[in-house]
Amino acid sequence: MKYRSVFDIIGPIMIGPSSSHTAGAVRIGKVARALHGAVPTRAEVTFYGSFAETYRGHGTDVAIAAGILDFDTYDPRIRDALKIAAQEGVEIEFLIGDDVPEHPNTARVRLMTEGTMTELVGVSIGGGKVEIVEIAGFPIRLSGDLPTIIVRHVDRYGMIAKVAQVLADHRINIAAMHVARKSRGAEALMTIEVDESPSNDVLEAVRVIDGITSATRLTL
């Protein structure tokens, strides 16, 4: 029998009105911001399903803007996130997607800064919890239960082994790993869930591997 925690039942400490439409949206925005690694100058957010139908009434637009600004779910500034974004020079556009999503509470977030773009698709699954189901066009499935390392790299022989060796050298245990590629020899994405959050030294050791484009620490 699987027991549920108090967090599973009542959700996170948050600014309302809805854990799915508010806290979950904040976290989707925060993940996009973490992957982008900087304050974006422009953000494009596309809502699907229930998000698309109710985002204004439930404050989902304000919440996801707060996440993009790196606010926590309980930050009182969430209510003024759109105003703060404008003050900080972050242009945010909200769009409605016509596609029928697998989950009704789905958002695609694109963040841009001087020619650099980060794109992901996140799903709010209830209780403030989210899943990231796509990064940079690569299908993935991240629940956020464990710290995760996101590695973009060239698809070539030995890349997985080299990254795994770095983690082994630092005594970091891999809980789960998934690798996706767009085509043979092209760009690939490695998602590695680990038992403890990697230090900056670990990330830097991964980044210097030949063929690695980026390595980012992610905590949902």
Could you tell me the residue ranges of all domains in the chain?
6-135, 148-218
What is the structure's pLDDT at 10?
A: 33
Burial class (CB in 10 A: 0-12, 13-18, 19+), 135: buried
What is the structure's pLDDT at 18?
A: 54
CATH topology classification for 6-135: 60s Ribosomal Protein L30; Chain: A; (3.30.1330)
Residues 6+ apart with CB under 8 A from 140: 132, 133, 134, 178, 180, 189, 191
- Helix 159-169 and helix 200-207, axial crossing angle in degrees, nearest 10: 150
Domain 148-218: give its CATH architecture: 2-Layer Sandwich (3.30)
Q: What is the mean pLDDT of the segment spanning 153-160?
A: 96
What is the structure's pLDDT at 195?
A: 95
Structure tokens at 12: 């996170």
Residue 20 has pLDDT above 90, yes or no: no
Which range among 51-60, 87-96, 138-147 has the greatest average pLDDT? 87-96
